[in-house]
Structure 1
Amino acid sequence: METSKTKNEPWYWIPFLNFASGLPYAIIISVSVIMYKNLGISNEDIGIYTSLLYLPWVIKPLWSPFIDLFSTKRNWFLVMQLLISIAFLVVGFTIPVSNFFILSLAIFWVAAFASASNDVASDGFYMLALTKDQQSFFLGIRSTFYRLAMLTGNGLIVIIAGYFEQLYADKTKAWSYTMIIVGLIMTVLTIYNYFLTPKTEINSLETESQPTPKVSFGTVFSSFFQKKQIGIALSFILLFRLGESQLLKMLTPFLIDDKAVGGMGLLTEDVGIIYGTFGVLALTIGGILGGIAISKNGLGKWMLPMILTMHLPIIGFILLAHFHPTSIYYIYAVVIAEQFGYGFGFASFMMYLIYLADGESKTSHYSIATGFMALGMMLPGMLSGYIQEYLGYGNFFIWVFLATIPGLILSQFLNFPKEFGKKID
């Protein structure tokens, strides 16, 4: 049964609900790297401790069944978004203190826990509120606004921090004010989602007279590992982002570090502008096209081309690290290619996770799948600083490119309906 809300209002709430998932993730996982780099923390410590912030996303399957079993998805994501807002405000006030590194990491970890829970509830809300063909159609929109939120963090928020650095000539004060602004933005998003998200959670494929029966925690968790081809599926999920996990941690240090140590020597504000302008446009186009392509032809046709489109732009960073071009426009070109490839290519990975989670307890199963994805991001990311210091930036990016090959090979052994995600006319 399709309700008027699921039919008429997805465009009002899907973009902002996913933006409220992507922005905390960007701040905790990516912007924290830039912040700590500018506040004097070493690459090795950045790699280890900011990668540990992935832990809540890794272990979220352990508590995700409770989100299925207690209260509503809407109540969960609203409370978690409010907690995230408060956490970022507190981080802003802890930066000026002497032991800011330990304190801010602890608060970021709380925010990460809330953000991971917010993701579980938001994903479940999405799968309950929309039909299958709506899910495939809005997949590109979801992915795009999630990534737009990440680029808002890596772009606009970093630009603001860079502006404050220049204005006050004090990086501590600059980042303190910046994190307070982030907390206020999250507060506004929470209020918006409170008023605009539907207040019903009826599965469009069910009727109110035939609700899905509640099942136990153990049944929900163990049933995921009984799915067909689960060994290959989990290997693919763990290895698909092996290269990206390391690229994400060391890319901004590469852009900020002096050329004397192999970096590109950019200002903080420059990094924000690069990702916040042309990067946003490229990602938006790529994400929308990716969702439309799968919706039109199905996942089978696009899996391989999308994976290649996502990973081949790493070659551009290899060239930057080896030749260090003086013109900033070469950096723009590489970022545009990388962002378009990510927006277009990542849609296939997320659609496969939706397929893997399909069935009973889809919210919990989707969170388990994304938990393994987070584990595949956390462990390599923890080592990325040491690998980069040992290899140097040039050889590091070559290693990152080679690390994408296992996931590419495994993708060819996955079994799924070739037309999965295709819109039914």
Structure 2
Amino acid sequence: PFVDTYKIPFLTKYLGMRKSWLLISQIFLIISLIMLGFSDPSQNLFLTAFFALLTAFFSANQDIIIDAFRIEILDDEFQGAGAAATQFGYRFGGLLAGAGSLYLKSIFTWPEVFLIISGIIFMLSICTIFLVKLDKMNIKKKSNNLLAPFKEFILRNTFYKSLIIILFIFSFKFGDVVAGIMANPFYVKIGFSNIDIANASKIFGVIMTLLGVFIGGYLVKQIGLINSLIISGVFQILSNLLYVLLNNVGPEFSFLIITVAGENFSGGLGSAAFVAYLSVLCKKEYSATQYALLSSFMGLARTLLSSPSGFIVESFGWGNFFIISTIFGLPGLIILFWMKDRFPINMQILGRAR
């Protein structure tokens, strides 16, 4: 609620609300990363954990503001394309910070790697200054009441239908999350080497994810949100069955490629449509708060479901585990079909400011 409500002295006047908060978040993110890189967990674990926490906090804050900015500058019909663009940036950034950092580590020390990554973020943060100033757009003044974003969402949809929306958000990626959490342990267990997994997941998998993201954004534009979500939901469920096939076949690299391709493509497809859906639910005055709240329910599902996954594998075996994960994907799809007839998108966004 703070980034939706409070202005930063001096900066807001010249940059606007979104840009000023984004720039501040990026500055503190850079500082946190540098401090994290120069900390030594063997000497002071608490200090390293503290800087890691700060990095996560400012990184999450940056994500929230970017999503709010995207929601506010785009009309509903372009939210699919906007979601695809941000998902592409997220995936590419993850690849750069993950695999890129490991590559840099072969040349530089860890503090130097963190400095390089911080330098890249600094150069990108300069772009913030040149973004559109949202204060010039037709967005009403925000209320100073921190509860206003929550109240508006519930009143717009009624308490009952708000619960349905939240339940759908929580359950849409049930099966995808459950299977994805255990994918790498599964690959190792059936006999694939780390090199095989890296080649399939980190290279081919990323390509298929990006392909899925862009096709997902295109589908949102062409056939609408609910239909796109239904198609991606079906793909997510079917992709889990590829793990069952791989479990029966064994460590055949070609089948690993097929499994990774199906899983990552369906994940990208679903992410683009899902992010677009969350975006159109948000009222522009409260886009940061409402998007952060709605997306947190998706994160909550991932957190809650990660714990029992190992227990399910131990109890039922890998093949049955992935069949169970497929079944977990059905509730979200059932809610979608209910929404299509009884609670369409235009009803969910009725009364929302544009």
TM-score normalised per structure 2:
0.80
Matches within 5 A, 1:206-225: 206=138, 211-225=140-154
From 186, 191, 197, the equivalent of 1:264 is 191
Q: CA deviation at 1:232?
A: 0.7
3-state SS of paired residue (1:277): helix
Structure 1 unaligned residues grouped into runs of 5+: 1-64, 168-173
Inter-partner Cα distance in structure 2 for 1:224 and 1:418:
14
8 Å contact kept, 2:41–2:47: no
Q: CA deviation at 1:345?
A: 2.3
Q: CA deviation at 1:89?
A: 4.7
Matches within 5 A, 1:153-172: 156-157=100-101, 160=103
Inter-partner Cα distance in structure 2 for 1:384 and 1:289:
30
> Per-residue displacement from partner, 1:313-342 (whole Å, max 9, x unpaired)?
1111222234323x3222122111211112
Partner of 1:116: 60
Corresponding residue pairs, total: 334
C-alpha distance 386-81 of structure 1, shift in aligned 2 (>3 A):
farther
Q: CA deviation at 1:197?
A: 5.1
C-alpha distance 318-87 of structure 1, shift in aligned 2 (>3 A):
farther
Matches within 5 A, 1:371-410: 371-410=296-335
Q: CA deviation at 1:230?
A: 0.6
Partner of 2:203: 277
C-alpha distance 99-186 of structure 1, shift in aligned 2 (>3 A):
closer
Partner of 2:125: 193
From 290, 301, 304, the equivalent of 1:365 is 290
Inter-partner Cα distance in structure 2 for 1:329 and 1:387:
27
C-alpha distance 203-381 of structure 1, shift in aligned 2 (>3 A):
farther
8 Å contact kept, 1:87–1:111: yes
Partner of 2:13: none
C-alpha distance 204-409 of structure 1, shift in aligned 2 (>3 A):
farther
Moved more, 89-98 or 283-292: 89-98
From 104, 122, 127, the equivalent of 2:71 is 127
8 Å contact kept, 1:293–1:302: yes
Inter-partner Cα distance in structure 1 for 2:311 and 2:53:
22
3-state SS of paired residue (2:338): coil
Inter-partner Cα distance in structure 1 for 2:29 and 2:190:
33
C-alpha distance 190-399 of structure 1, shift in aligned 2 (>3 A):
farther
Matched, 1:411 2:340: no
Partner of 2:163: 231
Inter-partner Cα distance in structure 2 for 1:420 and 1:341:
25
Inter-partner Cα distance in structure 2 for 1:194 and 1:329:
44
8 Å contact kept, 1:310–1:338: yes
Matches within 5 A, 1:68-79: 68-71=4-7, 72-79=17-24
Q: Alignment identity in percent?
A: 23
8 Å contact kept, 2:35–2:51: yes
Inter-partner Cα distance in structure 1 for 2:61 and 2:49:
18
Inter-partner Cα distance in structure 1 for 2:254 and 2:99:
17
